[in-house]
Chain A
Amino acid sequence: MNITLSVNGEQQGGDVEPRVLLVHYLRDTLGLTGTNVGCDTSSCGACTVLLDGESVKACTVLAVQADGHEVTTIEGLAPAGDGLHPMQQAFHEEHGLQCGYCTPGMIMAAVSLLEENPSPTEEEVRLGLEGNLCRCTGYHNIVKSVLAAADAGNGAAATTTEAVSS
């Protein structure tokens, strides 16, 4: 099937097998490997991306279902350059990641969460991220990160902040 979609603001498209998952289209066809795959039952949330601004698990969406829609992946979250999105910055400052594998999906889910609820309570953050599993952090610093991003100005605003030194 021929599809056309916007991925991180760029027009993409072409012929895809109808059964190809959006996450495999992003990873294998477009080379956007920041979106990870952690399970095969839509349980872990590692593959979370934004579809028309709302978080979806990209293993639960067929590439053809994204035809005509806008997809944002972790690579497209911060504007071009070396800046970080406020949510990424908050995860850095609060040590909200360790191995990093769940991180892109966790951040996309958190961005979507704050979009819906800019000032969540701790409980609302925990329930809002229930679909995203992390095995390293015990969630303590992830929850802190999301609350810090909310405090810093509702996280969803796509302003860049200073780059992380590396």
Chain B
Amino acid sequence: MSLGTIGDRLPRKEDARLLTGEARYVDDLQIPGALWVAFVRSPYAHARIGSIDASAAQAMPGVRHVFTGADLRDAWANPMPCAWPVTEDMKAPDHWPVAVDTANYAGDAVAVVVADSRYAAADAVDAVAVDYEPLDPVVDLEDALSDRVLVHEGLGTNRSYTWTLAPEPDAVDRAFAEAAHTVQERYLQQRLIPAAMEPRGVAAVPGAYGGDLTIYSSTQIPHILKIMTAVTCGLPEQKLRVIAPAVGGGFGSKLNVYAEELVAVALARRLGVPVRWTETRSEAGVATIHGRSLIQDIELAADGDGRITGVRVKLLADMGAYLQLVTPGIPLLGAFLYHGVYDVPAYHFECTGVFTNRTSTDAYRGAGRPEATYALERTVDALAREVGVDPAEIRRRNYIPTDRFPYTSIAGLTYDSGNYQPTLERALELVGYDALRAEQQRRRDAGETRHLGVGITTYVEMCGLAPSRVLASLNYSAGGWEAATVSMLPTGSVQVVSGTTPHGQGHETTWSQIVADKLGVDPGQVEVLHSDTAVSPLGMDTYGSRSLAVGGVAVSMAADDVLAKARRIAAHQLECAEEDLELVDGELRVRGTPTRAMTLQAVAFEAFTAHDLPDGMEPNLFGQVTYDPPNFTFPFGTHVAVVEVDEETGMVELIDYAAVDDCGNQVNPMIVEGQVHGGIVQGAAQALWEEAVYDEAGNLRNPTLIDYCVPSAAEVPYFRLDSTVTPSPTNPLGVKGIGEAGTIAATPTVINAVVDALQPFGVTDIDMPATPERVWRAIQDAPQAQEAGR
């Protein structure tokens, strides 16, 4: 068998077109006659929109049209969609693609320019004169909760919802009343800009001979976008085709239905010509959703040995100005995980969502789970300090014992499988934990100014979104299934049609390996089609580390169906019992009589001609599966970070990092490792470098990549990776998901290391990102420093 079955490090099939520049992202598409769209955006965070004078813009060369929100109001049958009304009484403002009366964040679109070229459109934006009446903005979360200033007057409050998970309220109170130790922490999850390297883009192309319309979008969700466009624009869904061509990263930021996509559709219909828009990076800073942005209050109760007996969590989550596709639901994805990998008997979770005059928040890599893991793992370190034990030891004492899986958690989940402590021990071994602690002490004793810090996180996440019935219980407006069709074509090659929509994850390679493994063919014979609703009409798209655990499993089941049908055909033609057939090197052979055999290719041809099939059998050799997972999957692992902190400058350097992850069975370990590498840097970036900074007036001060510090290769080291394999018992591949693990683990791991380094100063907290200034100030303000009269 050639390289390329399950478990092989097969180099990616996607690479050739990406390495040579042949891949086509949205802005690369040559679309004859397309007009360019650009948006006039509010410079105010909150303002009443007065008159809009577009005469100067319209007089400019190459400018075709200028439309205001009022001009386009009749293009919408419904406001923009929020698919996750988390409570019955959730408050949601009407959200129109182009604002009509008020602009509610700096960047809210108030008019649209249509021109012959991208340069002409950009020039004209500056010439549109908008008469704004500035209103007071609300930027701070607690200020928003006070309702001092209302973002949306019509709602009467800034509070969108309060969602509670209180399995046994009395038990929580009792746990805290009886606790030997309690710790209470407050953490700020700063706003983040997802910053996929390809900014968004969309082109809407009307059919030349009819009403059909094709949308090319840099999106993670072509299938969902098609449905939502039909609903918002009032179009028959069958008239729409959505194609996600090459997509340059998403990280959740392209898991949305955006104003610009809907405007492109509306204008293409109104003008009868193709229109296109490409986001600039500065524009992306305000026009594409942000991640995180919440205040976390968390308390742990524990017994005298530091065994956790209760967890109480209260969140104040920033929705931004509007509810985008799944804005209110993001904290709920973490709501069940604030006790993480620990066996905890009492639990209370509450989250309130508030509006602010800022860009909407929504899914960003990990979505709810990094926030939960951060709060818990930092608080567990605080507990270790309180109890006086090593942070590794406090974790050992609290892990859910391996013999308790499947484990029903107090929060109501059933963890499929787990074996946590080996990931901790291996990660500690990889960094040389004991030697590090000795070196740390040596430096402290010697009075050195470069302090060593070691941080630990053990995480569990829920992936494989999602069992549809569970989504129903969370009030989510869709299911969580995934579809796949595997066809063996008459010429013997294999076609896979998948409802997942990769944008860097390598599904073409991974799905090929699954099929190659099942059918005994070479992965080079397998073609994977995806991301075009005309080719792959059924799909729920790619996000939440769901693709392999749901979509890959669907592919595997469809391949099983192909093989089952092939066996029936071969048994019929070879005149033997199905049980007597074995699959060897791509042939179905009669056991004991290897000369009596049919290649799968021959079977596929027989299925195609249908000249001699068993009675009643349908022609063609394909399997089609829509798989609704019975449960989430629960990947886990332990990460350890080593940092050096310079007490004189506050500079933090990440010098070593070990990650031991368990995502169940791995189809392509090379791709798994790549996901972990990227996730670690994205998580470390939240810890050390990235923050969307707003001023009091609600202006984003750092929308560009000059000021928003996405790390480069120079800021990070090589990573030490290892894995354990604890297969998921809930799906036939035993897989779990790995796309978000690195991001989930890395943020608390790095901050725990920074706080650990600062222990000699008595520093127990540092806000993210832990910039040199923040670290330096924390040292200056620390109790020990002040005592010493620094």
Contact = CB atoms under 8 A, between A and B. Distances in A.
Interface of A: 17, 19-20, 24, 27-28, 31-41, 43-44, 46, 73-75, 77-78, 84, 88, 91-93, 95, 97-104, 107, 122, 125-127, 129-143, 163-166
Given A127-B714, A139-B713, A92 B12 contact: yes
- Which residue, A97, A137, A140, has most C-beta atoms of chain B within 10 A? A140
Contact of A74 (B15, B16, B21, B246): B21
Contacts of A75: 20-21
A130 B714 contact: yes
Contacts of B25: 33, 36, 101
Contact of A38 (B13, B20, B199): B199
Interface string B14-54: 11111111111101101000000000000000000000000
Contact of A138 (B11, B15, B716): B716
A140 B674 CA distance: 8
A126 B718 CA distance: 10
Contacts of A143: 713, 718
Given A95-B12, A99-B247, 13 more contacts: A19-B119, A37-B199, A43-B704, A74-B21, A99-B197, A99-B249, A101-B197, A135-B196, A135-B197, A135-B682, A136-B197, A136-B504, A140-B716
Contacts of A84: 16, 19-20
Contacts of A77: 20
A84 B524 CA distance: 18
Given A38-B198, A75-B21, A103-B18, A138 B719 contact: yes
A166 B14 CA distance: 7
Given A40-B282, A165-B13, A97 B713 contact: no
Given A102-B197, A143-B718, A135 B19 contact: no
Interface in B618-677: 670-671, 673-674, 676-677
B685 to A, nearest CB: 9
- Which residue, A32, A33, A84, has most C-beta atoms of chain B within 10 A? A33
23 contacts: A17-B119, A33-B21, A33-B28, A34-B21, A39-B705, A40-B704, A41-B705, A43-B706, A75-B20, A77-B20, A84-B19, A97-B19, A99-B198, A99-B247, A99-B249, A99-B504, A100-B248, A130-B713, A133-B712, A135-B196, A135-B249, A138-B676, A140-B677
Given A38-B281, A102-B197, A74 B714 contact: no
B705 A43 contact: yes
B474 interface: no
- Which residue, B16, B118, B195, B248, has most C-beta atoms of chain A within 10 A? B248
A37 to B, nearest CB: 7
Nearest to B683: A138
* Chief secondary structure at chain A's binding surface: loop
Contacts of A31: 30
B165 to A, nearest CB: 33
A138 B714 CA distance: 11
B20 A35 contact: no
B280 interface: yes
Interface string B475-505: 0000000000000000000000000000111
B118 to A, nearest CB: 8
A164 B19 contact: yes
Contacts of B742: 138
Nearest to A146: B713
Contacts, number: 195
B11 A32 contact: no
B681 interface: yes
Contact of A130 (B197, B281, B712): B712
B538 interface: no
Shortest beta-carbon contacts, A-B, top 9: A34-B21, A100-B18, A101-B248, A99-B504, A138-B677, A33-B28, A43-B705, A98-B504, A138-B681
Nearest to B679: A138
B713 A163 contact: no
Nearest to A134: B197
Given A126-B714, A134-B197, A135-B710, A97 B705 contact: no
Interface of B: 11-25, 27-28, 30, 118-119, 195-199, 246-249, 251, 280-282, 503-506, 524, 670-671, 673-674, 676-682, 704-706, 710, 712-714, 716, 718-719, 742
Contacts of B706: 41, 43
Nearest to A164: B16
Given A34-B21, A138-B680, A44 B249 contact: no
Contacts of B506: 98
A165 B524 CA distance: 7
A87 B609 CA distance: 47
Nearest to A137: B678
B195 A164 contact: no
A34 B20 contact: yes
Contacts of B713: 125-126, 129-130, 132, 134, 139, 142-143
Given A100-B246, A101-B198, A136-B249, A164 B15 contact: yes
B19 A107 contact: yes
Nearest to A31: B30
B19 A132 contact: no
Given A130-B714, A135-B710, A95 B671 contact: yes
A125 to B, nearest CB: 7
A107 B19 CA distance: 8
Contacts of B524: 165
A75 B670 CA distance: 27
Nearest to B508: A166
B19 A133 contact: no
Given A99-B248, A129-B712, A88 B281 contact: no
A67 B327 CA distance: 49
Contact of A33 (B24, B199, B677): B24
B15 A92 contact: yes
Given A43-B706, A95-B12, A100 B504 contact: yes
Contacts of B198: 36, 38, 99, 101
A87 B682 CA distance: 25
A99 to B, nearest CB: 3
B197 A138 contact: no
A92 B13 CA distance: 9
B35 to A, nearest CB: 14
B505 A135 contact: no
Contact of B197 (A20, A34, A38, A142): A38
Nearest to B671: A95
Contacts of A164: 11, 15-16, 19
- Which residue, B674, B716, B742, has most C-beta atoms of chain A within 10 A? B674
B21 A104 contact: yes
Contacts of A41: 281-282, 704-706
Contacts of A98: 249, 504-506, 674, 678
A126 B280 CA distance: 27
Contacts of A132: 712-713
Contacts of A34: 20-22
Contacts of A78: 20
Nearest to A32: B21
B677 A133 contact: no
